[in-house]
A and B are shown apart, each in its own frame.
Chain A
Amino acid sequence: MPLQQKHLLGLEGVSAADITAILETARTFREILERPIPKVPTLRGQTVVNLFFEPSTRTRISFELAEKRLSADSVNFTTSSSSVKKGETLKDTIRNIAAMKIDMVVVRHQSAGVPLFLTRCVDAAIINAGDGAHEHPTQALLDMFTLREKFGRLEGLRVAIIGDISHSRVAGSNIRGLVTMGAEVLLCGPRTLMPREVERFGVRVTHDIEEAIAWADVLNVLRIQLERQEAGLFPSLREYHAEFGVTLPRLERAKKEITIMHPGPINRGVELDSDVADADYSVILDQVTNGVAVRMAVLYLLSGNEESVG
């Protein structure tokens, strides 16, 4: 089943049918990753540029692996070692890269909207790997894939997203995707880190972590950025941990099975305690493995949407 869109800029406006197609295709690729030779020749001859204007380890490696497992040629472009340092504009950068004949661009940028902007500059499929505080669609897709594999469904599943909702593109994409797929979403975090009128997305909001734990089947715990504390949005890491930290005693009080997710990297002892992160109900490492399969699925499905050459 081909996707309705040529690019993956975010999960806003992406239909349940398209999300399901990506998650179903990812199951195939999950199996390929278990093979003695975890590689297929599907994207031979296609060139993918990984354009990272912001530091990233796991997302970049995950995309790179996905590209290599599909036999695509990939090139990395990172700002620390590029002409952007010499004052080149974004548009010039991308047009120069496009002039080298590429098929797809994976882009991460500190500003929201850069992936959309790129679709107007070049004739390649654009995949958003995180733009500002806007969206990070492949992360939400891999979160949903992980949940779907564990629970067998997304509809009616109770997912609580904990932490800095305002600045989180992971939350941005998860909220849109989960609501589309019929899951129930509860957001939990300090008032200073909660966007105004976020309920319009079809989610509930609480500021009480115990309430969130008591309600949820799944906690998706977001990373707390240290610079938010420096900006005065919460008093201290210790206080954040005391108010919103996901700890073993809090989970034990809830007396039920609960699944823990985290997009990484974890601040152990701040948003998530070590004994919780490493417990058998934590699926954090499954998320990482599934990330490669989901990104393979996205690359595969978008690569087929070009005009026919035959």
Chain B
Amino acid sequence: MDVKVKAVVIDKEGLKRTISRLAFEIIERNHGVDKIAIVGVRTRGAFVAERIVKRIEELEGKRVPYGVLDITLYRDDFRKRLRQPVVQVTDIPFEIDDIPVVIVDDVLFTGRTSRAAMDALMDFGRPAAIELAVLVDRGHRELPIHADYVGKSIPTSIGEEVQVRLKESDGEDCVLLVESPKEAQ
């Protein structure tokens, strides 16, 4: 891929520490993890969520219920797209009624994905609360949405893009700030 990398904003070790901190914050804010559940947004949000779940298990000795959301069908730009993305299966193998659910995504940008994720989650029941955890907040919100847990805030210009690269999907762990490819804009 021919993109110009402007900076490595989080490296491999940094990513590990960021995940750790997010796990600690989730535990602290919820007074333990007895009642919460964690749901990742496909694709990379799910991998981040999985790592947080693993870290929480190491810290608290308890595995929290974990699920995966595919929000493709809830997007608000469906009619504006030339080709629709491949939909994948959503898998939430537990009841979400009356417990706080933490939605995990890789990058928080316009807020539209988070809006779609909340709508999708609501179709599974009525959580006591929904919290939002993101690895990177890059600004430029178009909806009144705010993350409860932020790995790193990275001020960006609209011509830039934040690329989260994870071992599970991209073979390496890091977060890059890159020049947006022209055709994508």
Contact = CB atoms under 8 A, between A and B. Distances in A.
A308 B82 CA distance: 5
Contact of A1 (B86, B90, B125): B86
A35 interface: yes
Which of the listed residues B77, B84, B89 has the most CB atoms from chain A within 10 Å of its own CB?
B84
Contacts of B106: none
7 contacts: A31-B91, A32-B73, A42-B73, A300-B73, A301-B84, A304-B84, A310-B77
Nearest to B80: A310
A309 B73 contact: no
B87 A309 contact: no
A45 B79 contact: yes
A300 B87 contact: yes
A36 B124 contact: yes
A41 interface: yes
A310 to B, nearest CB: 3
Given A28-B90, A36-B124, A41 B84 contact: no
Given A36-B124, A40-B73, A41-B74, A310 B88 contact: no
A25 interface: yes
A39 interface: yes
Say which size band chain A's interface belongs to: 20 to 34
A41 B89 contact: no
A226 interface: no
A37 interface: yes
Given A1-B86, A28-B87, A309-B80, A40 B74 contact: yes
Contacts of A42: 73-74, 78
Interface in B84-106: 84, 86-91
Given A28-B70, A32-B90, 20 more contacts: A21-B86, A25-B87, A27-B89, A28-B90, A31-B90, A31-B91, A32-B73, A36-B125, A40-B73, A40-B120, A41-B74, A42-B78, A45-B79, A300-B87, A301-B84, A304-B81, A309-B79, A310-B79, A310-B80, A310-B81
Given A36-B123, A40-B123, A310-B79, A28 B89 contact: yes
B123 A35 contact: yes
A309 B80 CA distance: 5
A156 interface: no
Contacts of A25: 86-87
Interface string A11-30: 00000000001001101100
